[in-house]
Structure 1
Amino acid sequence: MPRLQAPHEMMRPRAPHEMMIRPSDATPDYANAMMKPEPELEFQALKLSDFDKVGDLGEGACGVVTKVRHRGSGAVFALKTAYYSDPNSEEEAEVLRRVGRSPHLVRCHAIFRGADDEPAMLLELMDAGSLGRVLRHRGHDGLPEPALAEVAARCLAGLAHLHYSCRVAHLDLKPDNLLADGRGNVRIGDFSVSRILSRVPGDRLRVSVAVGSTAYLSPERFAPNARAGPRGACAADVWSLGVTVLELFSGRCPVLPAAQRTSWEMLKEAICCGEPPSVPEIATASASLRGFVDACLQKDPKRRATVAQLLAHPFVAGRDVESSRRSLREIIVETMYKQGAKDREERA
């Protein structure tokens, strides 16, 4: 087995939504889980054979994700293994090398190579699952504004690192790809369709943006063989952020009426021909939240706010940071407790 490639050795984590831990894998002692420090391992010296499989976490079109335990330390991780080596999986691996150790992105500790040279990515395991899972536990209740402002701030910090430091567009931002842990951290995951916008200084690549989850695509991404340069690709992420914030607020995907069944054609019609989604007039919401969503969901990508502008928006910049963090952490931990109670009841 060749030596693994450590991200910090390279130029610069797919932590997919299906990485979300299953109920049986949840940590029962949540108070201890929140205080548990990250494992200290010499990742450069490790091999793929140093890890034992604990269970399956998910499977997607590009690869399979398993929960693994390091045999020596007992530390647990998520391991995403591509089915085979192809340009998409190689692009994802290169993105993971670039993003490094941002506190707002799911961390990739190392990239191994499998028997057929396919990448196997050792990822941070986020023990509370995704914010999509949090919404499903809350029923039709969305997040309160303080918690939502904290989520938006963390997403923007992650996108700023991707767009400005790494020259990468995420292209699949949604609640299921925002992963949480018992400490109240929320990080962007799943880089399976992300695109590198610049490979050398001064480079300005045009990349395919006709990828990602349909309900979160901006109108211009429905064009046949849609491609965009760095500005347009980053603007696509801003639209997805707006839809994500609106869904987390309302408790449901806001593109179509709640009772309406969705299809690709219906979503395309609604997004391209209808009015942009917005906070309902009857909803109890602050002017700053309404303004933030509107700034994200401009149908013309040139009129959309940039990540830098949104970081200065009152909804984010004017939040009470301590209160917002506490609100978000309490919701995440409450979801973990409820899931744990449900698991115990099902096993009884």
Structure 2
Amino acid sequence: MIRPCAAPHEMFRPFPAAPASAELKLSDLDKVGDLGEGACGTVTKVRLRGGSSSAVFALKTAYYPDPNAEEEAEVLRRTSGSPHLVRCHAIFRGAAGEPAMLLELMDAGSLGRVLLARRRAGLPEPALAEVASRCLAGLAHLHSRGVAHLDFKPDNLLANSRGDVKIGDFSESRIFSRTPGERLEVSIAVGSTAYMSPERFAPDARAGPRGACAADVWGLGVTVLELFSGRRPILPDVQRPSWGMLMEAICHGEPPVVPESASSSLRGFVTACLQKDPRRRGTVAQLLAHPFVARRDAGASRRALREIILETM
């Protein structure tokens, strides 16, 4: 049974300052290689000059000063300290004032890449339960710091060779509580369309703390279902569905169906996430107590997840 929990703004607590980086400069970093490029910036693999050859990092650099990039930098500052979020070691300024963030390097890439490497074979339930547990712990930390991720999907869950999975890419994240007790309305009409909940398709969709956190829970449900089935849950047979097609399916169709091969525990977990009415959706605290996560064999789940990550590297 799902029990009520504290609202996100009631869980908010002061956050520590970002790690000091006054003595570190962009010029202290040597580029090792390219990791990726997006609409707003690039990510490169770098090494600290004169440092250990094994001490490598990911450097995310914005193309130009941008309010969203500034928000992302602030999110990284206030959410530091969780083992379930990709760590930010330092934040710099480029020549034009654009932010650059020195991040923990996750050497196994994303869980989206893991699925592709497995030729779209989904994750077994023990490994998936471990992923869900870590994601929920990461979301609990984010939400307690007044932040909604708003772009939850397999490509933004990053893994390393130790078997860790962490939430990354906060470029669409929004801060809904900047001080304890504050309740701000933020835009939730952002992120990857296939993982958006129905209420996010409303024109200029906005939400307060509860609604913003509920949007993350829907994204988690779609992500868990994709990681289990190995295919996109919304319009899986359409190669490149348009925004309109996705909006019609998500807002006016039935929620995605969990395959019959899933256990009743997994089906219940996904169903709790994918309630179309955000007020009926399970909260992060409630889902952490769900049997799919709370009753897993933690040791076996960790081993199963690590084995899958290593076999795809």
Distance, in Å, in 2 between the alignment partners of 1:261 and 1:123 is: 31
Distance, in Å, in 1 between the alignment partners of 2:135 and 2:185 is: 24
- After TM superposition, the structure 1 = structure 2 runs for residues 1-348 of structure 1, keeping only pairs within 5 Å, are 11-12=16-17, 43-73=21-51, 74=53, 75-164=55-144, 166-258=145-237, 261-280=240-259, 283-336=260-313
Distance, in Å, in 2 between the alignment partners of 1:176 and 1:82 is: 19
Amino acid at match of 1:275: E
TM-score normalised by structure 2 residue count: 0.92
Distance, in Å, in 2 between the alignment partners of 1:134 and 1:316 is: 21
CA contact (8 A) 2:20 2:90 kept: no
Show the counterpart of 2:11. Answer: none
Identify the range of structure 1 (203-212 vs 78-87) with the bigger mean alpha-carbon deviation.
78-87
The superposition leaves residues 136-194 of structure 1 with CA deviations (integer Å, 9 ceiling, x where unpaired) of 01113100000000000000000000001x11000001000000000000000000010
CA contact (8 A) 1:12 1:99 kept: no
CA contact (8 A) 1:278 1:293 kept: no
Amino acid at match of 1:45: E
* Shift in Å, 1:220: 0.3
Distance, in Å, in 2 between the alignment partners of 1:129 and 1:83 is: 23
CA separation of 1:125 and 1:255: change in aligned 2, threshold 3 A: same
Amino acid at match of 1:248: L
Distance, in Å, in 2 between the alignment partners of 1:175 and 1:154 is: 13
CA contact (8 A) 1:43 1:110 kept: yes
Distance, in Å, in 1 between the alignment partners of 2:275 and 2:27 is: 49
Q: Counting helix residues as a fraction of each chain, which structure ranks higher?
A: 1
CA separation of 1:261 and 1:149: change in aligned 2, threshold 3 A: same
- SS in structure 2 of the partner of residue 94 of structure 1: helix
Distance, in Å, in 2 between the alignment partners of 1:260 and 1:63 is: 26
Distance, in Å, in 1 between the alignment partners of 2:22 and 2:298 is: 37
Distance, in Å, in 1 between the alignment partners of 2:176 and 2:257 is: 30
CA contact (8 A) 1:112 1:120 kept: yes
Show the counterpart of 1:345. Answer: none
CA RMSD of aligned residues (A): 1.5
The count of residues paired between Structure 1 and Structure 2 equals 297
Distance, in Å, in 2 between the alignment partners of 1:72 and 1:260 is: 47
Runs of 4+ in 1 over 3 A off after TM superposition: 10-13, 41-44
CA contact (8 A) 1:158 1:187 kept: yes
CA contact (8 A) 1:171 1:211 kept: yes
- SS in structure 2 of the partner of residue 80 of structure 1: strand
* Shift in Å, 1:275: 0.4
The percent of aligned pairs where both chains have the same amino acid is 78
Amino acid at match of 1:141: A
Amino acid at match of 2:118: R
- SS in structure 2 of the partner of residue 290 of structure 1: helix
Distance, in Å, in 2 between the alignment partners of 1:109 and 1:88 is: 19
* Shift in Å, 1:199: 1.0
* Shift in Å, 1:76: 0.9
